[in-house]
């Protein structure tokens, strides 16, 4: 019974790509930045071969690495969560998803207002924590929705849970998702509920929910589930793929719960893929430019790796990667950064090897489906070689 556990360390980039300047990123390196923190400690990832990957110049290079490693190049045009995960699953996007540095056009907001019956506040790129402080009082007094975006392809709706109940906020997000199609088909519509007293400090709650654009093509998730294999989504994976190709899903409140859920699935009997996103690196530390927090979160995961590996069965494969960068030391913006990502593949019968620099994240999808005896129907080359158990 074969199982693949694919864990995305959200935003864990390992150095800028050659075209990073085209995305406004200069001298960015998420791993390089966090490695300078006194809270950075990743001996278990080092043992697998993290610091032997092409271009990595920090850490101690393990001479007897235990895993297959590679540096992954994002072939898609973009540096956001949706496009990164889609490429990991086999879709290379030739055009970036639309972004709105000056806010959303009138026709979009007029249709959204008509269908929700509520006005709109802000309509600009904003920090999620700052926008509720600046517009929260007006929202509570008028009931108008705080709509904002970022450098990513997102339409975010912030609302106080006492003014707009969660079920109503989610309904508004579904309406926005229906409106934002075609040329305005943003990657995600995101519910951003918050709490706090009028005139006081507001705090975002854990009731965030994402409504993603439906993937435009078949992914490895579809190929696996169509053949009766399990595709288990942990964290925001279900939202990123709009549920397409997923057979079971569980949401998490952050990295700690995501790791705990992963350990639980390691104890369960199933055949197929368990696809996990650990979001805190990006959401809590990368965008907030918290180097020490990012380093500490990576160290926490590293400390849990031995338990994950201990629970693996003989035919299990563990894959570790990322979807983009978000250098917490980069002060020009608070956005994602265009970076290479790491790939680490460990299995008891997989011979360790450094595969250099790969051309696309889609090689991961090709590797996953090949392991289950499926010929990939998308760009990407498998990283499995002879000697893999048949």
CA distance 74 to 360: 5
Q: In the beta sheet, which residues pair with residue 35?
A: none
CA distance 56 to 75: 20
Least confident of 96-100, 168-172, 338-342: 96-100
Query: Residues 360, 383: contact at Cβ < 8 Å?
Result: no
Considering the entire predicted model, what is its pTM? Answer: 0.90
Residue 288 has pLDDT above 80, yes or no: yes
- Whose tokens are 């973009």? That residue is 78
DSSP 120-142: EEEEEE--HHHHHHHHHHHHHHH
258 and 281 together in one domain: yes
Q: For all residues of the chain together, what is the average pLDDT? A: 96
135 and 253 together in one domain: no
| Domain end among 190, 212, 234 | 212
* Of the candidates 132, 124, 145, the residue with the CA atom closest to the CA atom of residue 200: 132
230 inside domain? yes
22 inside domain? yes
Which range marks the domain in which residue 321 is found?
3-95+214-371
Question: 223-249 pLDDT, tens per residue?
Answer: 999 999 999 999 999 999 999 999 999
Residue 153 has pLDDT above 90, yes or no: yes
CA distance 254 to 252: 6
Sign of CA dihedral 266, 268, 273, 276: negative
Query: Residues 328, 290: contact at Cβ < 8 Å?
Result: yes
CA distance 129 to 125: 12
Query: Residues 56, 31: contact at Cβ < 8 Å?
Result: yes
The number of folded domains in the chain is: 2
351 and 256 together in one domain: yes
310 and 342 together in one domain: yes
194 and 60 together in one domain: no
33 inside domain? yes
Question: 242-256 pLDDT, tens per residue?
Answer: 999 999 999 999 999
100 inside domain? no
271 inside domain? yes
250 and 355 together in one domain: yes
CA distance 211 to 169: 12
Banded model confidence at residue 388, pLDDT cuts 50, 70, 90: very low
Mean pLDDT (whole number) for 86-112: 96
| CATH number, position 91 | 3.40.720.10
Q: How far is CA 383 from the centre of its chain?
A: 22
233 and 254 together in one domain: yes
Beta-strand ranges (E) seen in the chain are: 3-9, 68-72, 120-125, 145-149, 154-160, 188-195, 203-204, 209-212, 230-234, 248-250, 272-278, 317-321, 341-346, 353-358
């Amino acid at each position: 019974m074969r199982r693949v556990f694919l864990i995305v360390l959200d935003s864990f980039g390992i150095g800028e790509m050659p075209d990073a300047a085209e995305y406004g990123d200069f001298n960015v390196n998420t791993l390089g930045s966090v490695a300078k923190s006194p809270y950075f400690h990743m001996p278990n990832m080092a043992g697998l071969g993290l610091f032997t990957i092409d271009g990595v110049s920090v850490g101690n290079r393990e001479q007897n690495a235990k895993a297959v490693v590679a540096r992954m190049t994002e072939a898609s045009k973009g540096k956001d969560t949706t496009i990164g995960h889609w490429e990991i699953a086999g879709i290379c996007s030739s055009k970036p998803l639309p972004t709105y540095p000056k806010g959303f056009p009138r026709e979009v907001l007029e249709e959204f207002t008509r269908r929700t019956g509520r006005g709109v506040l802000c309509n600009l790129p904003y920090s999620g924590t700052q926008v509720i402080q600046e517009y929260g009082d007006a929202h509570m007094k008028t009931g108008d929705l705080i709509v904002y975006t970022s450098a990513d392809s997102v339409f975010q709706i912030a609302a106080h849970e006492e003014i707009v109940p969660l079920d109503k906020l989610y309904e508004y997000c579904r309406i926005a998702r229906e409106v934002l199609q075609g040329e305005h088909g943003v990657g995600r519509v995101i519910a951003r509920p918050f709490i706090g007293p009028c005139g006081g400090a507001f705090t975002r709650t854990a009731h965030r929910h994402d409504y993603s654009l439906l993937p435009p093509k078949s992914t490895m998730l579809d190929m696996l589930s169509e053949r009766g294999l399990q595709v288990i989504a942990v964290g925001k994976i279900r939202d990123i793929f709009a549920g397409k190709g997923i057979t079971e899903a569980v949401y998490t409140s952050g990295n700690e719960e995501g790791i705990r859920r992963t350990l639980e699935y390691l104890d369960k009997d199933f055949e197929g893929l368990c696809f996990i996103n650990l979001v805190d690196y990006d959401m809590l530390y990368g965008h907030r430019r918290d180097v020490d927090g990012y380093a500490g979160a990576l160290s926490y995961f590293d400390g849990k790796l031995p338990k994950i590996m201990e629970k693996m069965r003989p035919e299990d494969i563990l894959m570790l990667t990322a979807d983009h960068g978000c250098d917490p030391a980069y002060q020009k913006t608070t956005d994602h950064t265009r970076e290479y990502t790491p790939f680490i593949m460990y299995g008891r019968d997989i011979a360790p090897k450094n595969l250099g620099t790969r051309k696309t994240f889609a090689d991961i999808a090709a590797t996953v489906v090949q392991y289950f005896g499926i010929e990939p129907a998308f760009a990407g080359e498998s990283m499995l070689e002879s000697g893999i158990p048949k």
